[in-house]
Amino acid sequence: MRQVVLDTETTGLAPEDGHRIIEIGAVELKDRRMTGRDFWSYLNPEREVDAGATDVHGLRAEDLEDQPRFAEIAGPLIDFLAGDELIIHNAPFDLAFLNRELERAGARIRRVEEYCPILDTLPLARRLHPGQNNSLEALCLRYAVDTSERARHGALIDARLLAQVYRAMTMGQGALGLQGPGTAHPGSVQQSTPREPGTRRPIPVTLHPEDWAEHRDFLRRIDQKSGGQLMWRTDLDTVT
């Protein structure tokens, strides 16, 4: 199964006010693993960048004068996205900008939703963690995703971070065990039938050795951040 995780950076908050995309990044997943095949470009917005936006991503209009216009990358972008599920955090924001840019690019280019199904990870995160901060930054912290290479917002690096967060949110392991005993765990999956205390229901899963190694590293990072309160310590100690 192929999926694409996408993020954009913009000159401001509202495409209806003439704001434009200035960076776009998309990451390919196949069978939930990043393949290393990406789509990325800075873009010349042909307008000024709001100071508040520059504070977020560090980009100014003068930095982008030699970059392509959106119309120049619209075809290759659609070729990269078309036919596969598109994963975006707070999808209405990015889609509003993308569809406005596609409209500018020409009549033959349709709306993104006509090319691929959309999965918005923000509603998913809100269902898993109701009443909590579900920004990408908060989710990276919650799921122990390493953000050390992210000095500022950037479309490609944020797409890569979102890919890791999406995988963590949908790997079916329930609560992360970051809180003390007896407290509710954010994102825990409710069981359909009650279980006796101390029993574990096996989950049938087949993983490659590299998947087990990645799983164990993920658990170790959670264990470190939670001060040794990891729920799956048996998995951590025994998976080789």
CATH at 28: 3.30.420.10
Closest to 57 in 3D by CA, of 71, 69, 42, 39:
42
- Residue 221's domain comprises 209-238
- pTM above the 0.85 mark? no
Compute CA distances 205 → 120, 208, 211, whole Å. 26, 10, 11
Question: pLDDT of the chain along its 240 residues, tens only?
Answer: 999 999 999 999 999 999 999 999 999 999 999 999 999 999 999 999 999 999 888 899 999 999 999 999 999 999 999 999 999 999 999 999 999 999 998 857 789 999 999 999 999 999 999 999 999 999 999 999 999 888 778 999 999 999 999 999 998 643 333 333 333 333 323 333 333 444 444 444 455 566 666 666 767 767 676 666 666 555 555 544
- Please check whether residue 194 lies inside any domain of the structure: no
Who's near 133: CB < 8 A, 6+ residues apart? none
Summarize pLDDT for 3-25 with one digit per residue, the tens.
999 999 999 999 999 999 999 99
> Which of residues 111, 142, 169 is at a domain's end?
169
- Give the active site residue among 153, 185, 208, 215: 153
- The SS3 assignment for 38 reads strand
- Please check whether residue 37 lies inside any domain of the structure: yes
Q: Do 165 and 46 reside in the same domain of the chain?
A: yes
> Which of residues 116, 143, 169 is at a domain's end?
169
Strands lying side by side in the sheet with 118-120: 33-42, 21-30, 2-10, 85-88, 118-120
Q: Do 136 and 21 reside in the same domain of the chain?
A: yes
The CA distance from 94 to 113, in Å, is: 12
Closest to 12 in 3D by CA, of 56, 68, 50, 60:
50
Q: Is 57 among the residues known to form the active site?
A: no
Compute CA distances 161 → 85, 102, 125, 137, 166, whole Å. 17, 26, 14, 9, 9
Report the domain count for the chain.
Answer: 2
Q: Do 37 and 99 reside in the same domain of the chain?
A: yes
